[in-house]
Structure 1
């Protein structure tokens, strides 16, 4: 039982008396950032602030996301595989009546139960057809950002279906504010809004800030002072613009860190940086030397740059590289653990608490990752003479992939299988044919060049069994007709807004 003195203490002071205060958690998500697009991975792109944070933290070099945007964000927010929620097929589109299922418990809701102030800035892309779907109604105290996949970086609009007109997509909580911020570049604007949150926050109380940049997603728009840095260094125009987008985002991250330090929040802060999927090669990104790109089940589509940094980390792990298996879904239970909360009340999680892995260098409790199982993805038109074509176990014409230990199995349509070097390296891009089913040892062959499917039938059979197991839990995506009339921004004062 608490003594009368402790009963009189404020919650933050009580936490200090009884143990360590709960850390402020800053989660920064880049959009479409490739493996080879950060300086510490050898890129020509200048990312000094990202590099500095990574060098002073723990680089996560065996860390995975999903092949696409909305699926990754759904996994981050729930700690559950996208296949559990019908979120595995594609990104959410503007005029479909669908969102991240409302019966899922989201990360900010759990953190609020532990006394956290929860704020979101930037890209949502988890559905908005009704108000119950949007961030302010799903656990975030405040939201400044946009609902859709992307749009114009300067005027914050996106084209309407069937029109040449563009509609506004920028919110300050539930209020449309695009016109007020017209002309302000989104990367800089989102950093400024994040800084305002930090400046107003009472450091005695724990904070969760989800900063979800629009950068470096297409369209490739950036103030010329950033892209001009690469004139003479990068000849390819898309790559040069992309590099400018990335450097601008890096500068914005540096400003957020400076504000954390000026406000006194820094000493109790944990920063996590991640991409949402692999880089889009056709839009300037690079995943070299990994195979594939955004939308692909190869490493270039699902393995992303990520790190943890901040004074909350012990000196013993700062400046280290962690090669344990980690997944974007692991942040949910890890953050809830750091918040002193429980995962009671959620649906069964696929994420695991990785705090000991990150903070102490312990072995990862994660042994496998389901990269995806997508029954709606187009099947190959014909089946080759594949020795493992046994639909009673798992139909290998289905687009799917699973990682178990060092082994990775891919089936069906796997997406782009090209090794694409960034233009500035002037290497020749290569492609290698593959069958309906492929097997790689990722530890020995991270570039996925040596298919071992015929060498290790025992591993193939074991992984097909695991896919069969997970396939029994798949929730197929709802196929909803787009409600063009109801959702048309023309009838909503030229704004993308909930319509049901």
Structure 2
């Protein structure tokens, strides 16, 4: 068993560097622990909302109706450069552990024990990554053993609620059940990352009423089987009931509201679907837009409940997506355009695959209608939520890579200045498209370098000047390529990251900086 690592919050409020988060704040910490609502959407793109995260409202923003996201943005802070990973399980593992995906090695999506989901490739052999996902025990091979975020919150007085998609441990492992990972309550969470159906009339993908059918049937919502209710609404009702129950414990709550939507299958939320058909949307995009609005209604229902019951003033709300919006398949319209002005979508190393809609509200602390243009990454939520909860000195079995963004929330400083962000995907996702492949990536200030393992090629973009990543500037700036490739290679070696091999020779593919020698 690994020796626990002692972690102390390093954010010294008031002593940090200048932040790019705009509008001053006057809020100070309260002695009472806040409730924390983390609202995570599955596969929601940066543009799948009427809230503009670019400098201006875009045509894609005008496709969607998300009044409750607008409401949350008006009451809190909007982050324009929040990052996750390009597919779901790596993001969710980073959130729960504070580790970068290169370190925790859950680098692709998980499902069945000891089984890789990597698509076949004619050139590359993929490494033996942690296909069994996240575990709170150290006895499962090909898994990451970690002290989880909800476990630390639970141990420090929180009533911890999981609602919706889990997708941490593979089927047949303890980590498939959120109750083994520090949650007091599990609502509808298991090993799978999508439902077979969102419709209560179809038993949420189970074979028959009252039956749990692996892998895609959603567990634990049998009382809604046969009803006309949508899964998103059913989860919201159950989440509210769990919060209500928590009030009898005398503890603050941590609600991880993790929706299955807007992941495929694209099925209409019947409350909103017809209006998008009436607007002339094609069938798939009408379904998708109705799912987005159903998600937004869930957010509104939770916010209304908090306000009605006097809980809103001491509840932090964090809104995030787990990867870029789906655009490579199963959507209406032109592929790889649904996240424009960003390039590509889910599964891609380009911005469309990793940049997420993010909002935060904390009454009395976060300035209303403020905007933060500093960048952050998904593993930063781990130390941030612990700091918000007042958990200052804690032990973990894993090394924490994330940095608390509380200074950005309070506009007292930033963790972005002088910091590099890293992505590592030594795997192959099933779809194809721009930026989709076996890559490692670094963002350093305005510059972003992508290294392609199959070809040894580099792509260099200036994100400030070229948000859509249309102009590869590697040939123009070999000195920047060299600098960033060295940083990327050094980082990957430092965390013992895995690499694919060449099938023909059996040799491990070179590190990002080795092609420069």
TM-score of the aligned structures, taking structure 2 as reference length: 0.74
Q: Cα–Cα, structure 1 residues 288 and 223, in superposed 2: closer, same or farther, change >3 Å?
A: same
Is 1:407 matched up with 2:455?
Answer: no
Is 1:189 matched up with 2:189?
Answer: no
Is 1:454 matched up with 2:475?
Answer: yes
Aligned residue in 1 for 2:198: 153
Q: Cα–Cα, structure 1 residues 439 and 167, in superposed 2: closer, same or farther, change >3 Å?
A: closer
Aligned residue in 2 for 1:386: none
CA distance in 2, matches of 1:278, 1:144: 25
SS in 1 for 2:72: helix
Is 1:374 matched up with 2:441?
Answer: no
Q: Cα–Cα, structure 1 residues 70 and 443, in superposed 2: closer, same or farther, change >3 Å?
A: same
CA distance in 2, matches of 1:180, 1:348: 42
Aligned residue in 1 for 2:414: 363
* Conserved 8 A contact 1:356-1:362: yes
Q: Cα–Cα, structure 1 residues 375 and 248, in superposed 2: closer, same or farther, change >3 Å?
A: closer
Is 1:199 matched up with 2:244?
Answer: yes
Is 1:208 matched up with 2:248?
Answer: no
Aligned residue in 2 for 1:92: 110
Q: Aligned-pair distance for 1:113? A: 2.3
Q: Cα–Cα, structure 1 residues 413 and 247, in superposed 2: closer, same or farther, change >3 Å?
A: farther
CA distance in 1, matches of 2:453, 2:205: 34
Q: Aligned-pair distance for 1:377? A: 3.8
* Conserved 8 A contact 2:377-2:421: no
Aligned residue in 1 for 2:140: none
Aligned residue in 1 for 2:463: 442
SS in 2 for 1:238: helix
SS in 2 for 1:250: helix
Q: Aligned-pair distance for 1:135? A: 0.6
Q: Aligned-pair distance for 1:107? A: 0.5
Is 1:129 matched up with 2:172?
Answer: yes
Is 1:352 matched up with 2:403?
Answer: yes
Output one character per residue of 1:338-368: Cα deviation in whole Å (capped at 9) or x when no partner.
2221343242211001101112252334644
Is 1:25 matched up with 2:28?
Answer: no
SS in 1 for 2:473: coil
SS in 2 for 1:59: strand
Number of residues paired by the alignment? 412
Q: Cα–Cα, structure 1 residues 188 and 287, in superposed 2: closer, same or farther, change >3 Å?
A: same
Q: Cα–Cα, structure 1 residues 116 and 334, in superposed 2: closer, same or farther, change >3 Å?
A: same
- Alignment equivalent of 1:144, drawn from 168, 187, 211: 187
* Conserved 8 A contact 2:80-2:358: yes
Q: Aligned-pair distance for 1:153? A: 1.0
- Alignment equivalent of 1:266, drawn from 278, 290, 312: 312
Q: Cα–Cα, structure 1 residues 185 and 474, in superposed 2: closer, same or farther, change >3 Å?
A: farther
Is 1:318 matched up with 2:368?
Answer: yes
* Conserved 8 A contact 1:81-1:350: yes
SS in 1 for 2:496: coil
- Alignment equivalent of 1:53, drawn from 72, 75, 78: 72
Mapping 1:322-341, distance limit 5 Å: 322-341=372-391
Q: Aligned-pair distance for 1:158? A: 6.5
Q: Cα–Cα, structure 1 residues 225 and 180, in superposed 2: closer, same or farther, change >3 Å?
A: closer
Aligned residue in 1 for 2:160: 118
Q: Aligned-pair distance for 1:68? A: 0.3
Q: CA RMSD in A?
A: 2.6
TM-score of the aligned structures, taking structure 1 as reference length: 0.77
Is 1:81 matched up with 2:100?
Answer: yes
- Alignment equivalent of 1:292, drawn from 336, 344, 350: 344
Give the unaligned 5+ runs of structure 2: 1-28, 116-131, 137-144, 208-212, 333-337, 430-436, 501-517
* Conserved 8 A contact 1:96-1:129: no
Aligned residue in 2 for 1:303: 355
Aligned residue in 1 for 2:86: 67
Aligned residue in 1 for 2:5: none
Is 1:474 matched up with 2:496?
Answer: yes
Give the unaligned 5+ runs of structure 1: 1-17, 160-164, 379-396, 415-433, 479-500
CA distance in 2, matches of 1:295, 1:413: 16
SS in 2 for 1:329: helix
